[in-house]
Structure 1
């Protein structure tokens, strides 16, 4: 599946990097919107997403401290979220891909608490949060879906704490690769092949590992025949070996 937009689904807005959008025509609808909506509810959902926004690689969708106004459904591309540590370094807190929603960090204090930066050219659907709240009161399925998204973020954060708190380097990287390929497969991509949109340094920042450790662990996996790596192209040759690492009794 290629989550690119069909020409009939969009129209260029002169002088702005925004596009009109209809969720009912989107091939990622089942990933970022509730399932089983009635035609009437789907028509209401179409009113929720007013525009799309295009970003170039390296461009920020939002920055820490900016006023929170909208949630964003990623249509194409990859993002990283990061915060600035006390020593001035960027700490990567997550990677997001097509079909996922970002911007939830701003709900609590009405300001974003992290940066969201495009790792490649990307396109997002802009969902004004006041409209999300208003429509959620009328469409129960949407309210339930928003709660599920928030719950998933909590579960993800717990998973990251487990990675950083109790796993060795090879276990962290194995868990990261398995999670990444699983999410990509849900979008119609290969179970075993992927292109790493993030750098090894960014992976290390996310996993709490030094760049040298990440590179050394990749090399070890390749030498053992677990993966095959060519620049950013990666193929998993032995998924069971990765699963064994993640499920090792020492990391439970």
Structure 2
């Protein structure tokens, strides 16, 4: 395909967003070379983040979305009494920063759990491209809806009284998210610490360790330090769906 006398390699353009959520913005839209270049031009490469480094902080004013290219991040808020509540864990291929789109600053802090890299997509530039490229806005709304649905899983999970159910819901969700980016859904590399996971689940670290041991004894999981192998997906789902009044 030639545009302005220049050969445009669409394969290379698509690879620039490989394994990240942006490929879901451009690839299904069936757009041509010129529009692909326009989309690619709004994405800003950012420096890598080391573990413990902030991508943005609560209260920052930043009208942009961020695509995790590699690694993982956690988002959390600081409660009035000074305690930290972890709101979510985010893996490569996902977008974060939706909380800052309302225009009154980010409502949480995003911090790298490991060596990570992200791309920044300024909202005004993305909106301009979406208005010009047929189908792109629809794809963007679809992805935003998916991310909001995922955020709602946390309060649903926290409403479960059974600690085992909470952990199983988290592990099943992470498995499904990995499958969505073509990774092995049976191998979970947990970049968060047990303490961070306990905070997210509303449990104490001793309970989380005990639950992993119990799931392993049941033959549902095999735990090797921070790597969790799901051996029985149906069994994991059964634990996730276990009713709070079921003492079995």
Structure 1: runs of 5+ lacking an equivalent = 1-20
2:189 corresponds, among 181, 185, 195, to 195
- How much has 1:236 moved relative to structure 2? 1.2
| Residue 149 of structure 1: how far off its partner (Å) | 2.6
Q: Which of residues 147, 163, 186 is equivalent to 2:180?
A: 186
Q: Deviations over 1:34-82 (max 9, x none)?
A: 4233123222111111323311111100000111132111111101000
Conservation of the 8 A alpha-carbon contact between 1:22 and 1:46: yes
Aligned length: 231
1:1-252 to structure 2, matched below 5 A, reads: 25-28=16-19, 31-34=23-26, 35-39=28-32, 40-250=34-244
1:203 Cα deviation (Å)?
1.2
Are the equivalent residues in 2 in contact too, given 1:33–1:142 (CA < 8 A)?
yes
Q: Is the 8 A contact 2:64 2:101 kept in 1?
A: no
How many angstroms does 1:138 deviate by? 1.5
- Of stretches 98-107 and 230-239 in structure 1, the one that deviates more from structure 2 is 230-239
Query: When the two structures are superposed, what TM-score results if normalisation uses the length of structure 1?
Result: 0.84
CA distance in structure 2 between the aligned counterparts of 1:49 and 1:107, rounded to whole angstroms: 17
8 Å contact from structure 1 (residues 31, 99) kept in 2: no
**Cα 1:146–1:167 shift into 2, 3 Å:** farther
Bigger Rg over Cα: 2
Distance 1:33 1:48, change over 3 A: same
Q: 1:32 to 1:86 in 2, by over 3 A?
A: farther
1:250 offset after TM fit, Å?
Answer: 4.6
Q: 1:98–1:160: structure 2 CA closer, same or farther, 3 Å change rule?
A: same
Name structure 2 gaps, 5 residues minimum.
Answer: 1-11
> Residue 22 of structure 1 contacts residue 49 of structure 1 at CA under 8 Å; is this kept in 2?
no
Q: Answer with 160-169 or 60-69: which moved more.
A: 160-169
In 1, Cα distance between equivalents of 2:110 and 2:214? 31
Over aligned residue pairs, what C-alpha RMSD do you find? 2.1
The CA distance in 2 between the partners of 1:167 and 1:138, in whole Å, is 48
Deviation at 1:127, TM superposition (A): 1.0
Q: Deviations over 1:60-118 (max 9, x none)?
A: 00000111132111111101000011221211111111111111110113411111001
